[in-house]
Amino acid sequence: MATKQLKPTTPGQRHRIAPVFDEITTDRPLKSLTKGIDKSGGRNNRGRMTTRHRGGGHKRKYRVLDFKRNKLDIPAKVQTIEYDPNRTARIALLAYADGEKRYILAPNNLQVGDTIISSVTAAPEVGNAMPMKSMPLGTFVHNIELQPGKGGQLCRSAGTVGQLVAKTDKFATVKLPSGEVRMVLVNCFATVGRTSNPDHFNTTKGKAGRNRWLGRRPRVRGVAMNPVDHPMGGGEGKASGGHPRSPWGQSAKGKKTRNRKKLSSKFIVRRRKSKKA
């Protein structure tokens, strides 16, 4: 995966750094593994807007992915590497030896024709899935489960990777891309390798319209509003004032919002890197 600098034939192309789709092998997903998705526009089941700046965007089909990798001890051959509009990483279509087909997150450097497997006794090779108790220390992993059988929840976006740094009888210690080090049950599955499309973070959109294609609407600064619309609005001239707040008065910096009943702090060995560092 690489990027390309486009010729500045239009203002929107001038600063555009686009991905190169060399690894993509087909432009049509498998119909039986796709389904339609409804857009919420940021609204909940009562029609109330709960997330601002969402709406519009290009129509998409959802690709049903296998995050659990629970088809054990059956080898699968990679048929295609595909683009998925719903995520930043690429996806791979697997054809299992028993005839079933499934989509998975494509690891980096996975090629069409490769054979991978999900097994407790699998070799720690790129694309293979196994519980972390079966992996050697130092293994780079993605699509990491937090609860056995629930499916991968960590390291799923483009180019992300965790590293297995320690193991005990009950817990495996994993270093995450944020710098956080946390304990996960050793029976949790993970997939060996880094997720595909690592150059995703080197791309630039080039124009506001590309954000609209992604369903992201314009965001107006609070200080640019009137006092009736925002706690930080108003003032003579360009006043940038007051304490950072949401439109409803909630503190925007430093307020604790984690659910105390669901805290998993006891599993965190080292906190993630500070944004100030």
User: What average pLDDT does the segment 7-11 reach?
Assistant: 94
Q: What is the pLDDT of residue 274?
A: 65
DSSP 253: S
Rounded to whole angstroms, the Cα distance separating 241 from 131 reads: 52
Question: Among 270, 121, 85, 111, which Cα is nearest to 183's?
Answer: 270
DSSP 134: G
The CATH class that applies to domain 3-201 reads: mainly beta
Q: What is the pLDDT of residue 48?
A: 96
User: What average pLDDT does the segment 119-129 reach?
Assistant: 96
Quick check: helix, strand or coil at residue 12? Answer: helix
52-106 pLDDT per residue, tens: 999 999 999 999 999 999 999 999 999 999 999 999 999 999 999 999 999 999 9
| pLDDT grade for 272, boundaries at 50, 70 and 90 | confident
Q: What is the pLDDT of residue 277?
A: 44
Q: What is the pLDDT of residue 172?
A: 97
Within 13 A of 263's CA, how many CA atoms are on the CB side?
8
The pTM of this model reads 0.91
Residue 124 CB-density burial (10 A; 0-12 exposed, 13-18 middle, 19+ buried): middle
User: What average pLDDT does the segment 133-162 reach?
Assistant: 97
Segment holding 11, helix H or strand E: helix 11-14
167-212 pLDDT per residue, tens: 999 999 999 999 999 999 999 999 999 999 999 999 999 999 999 9
Rounded to whole angstroms, the Cα distance separating 97 from 239 reads: 66
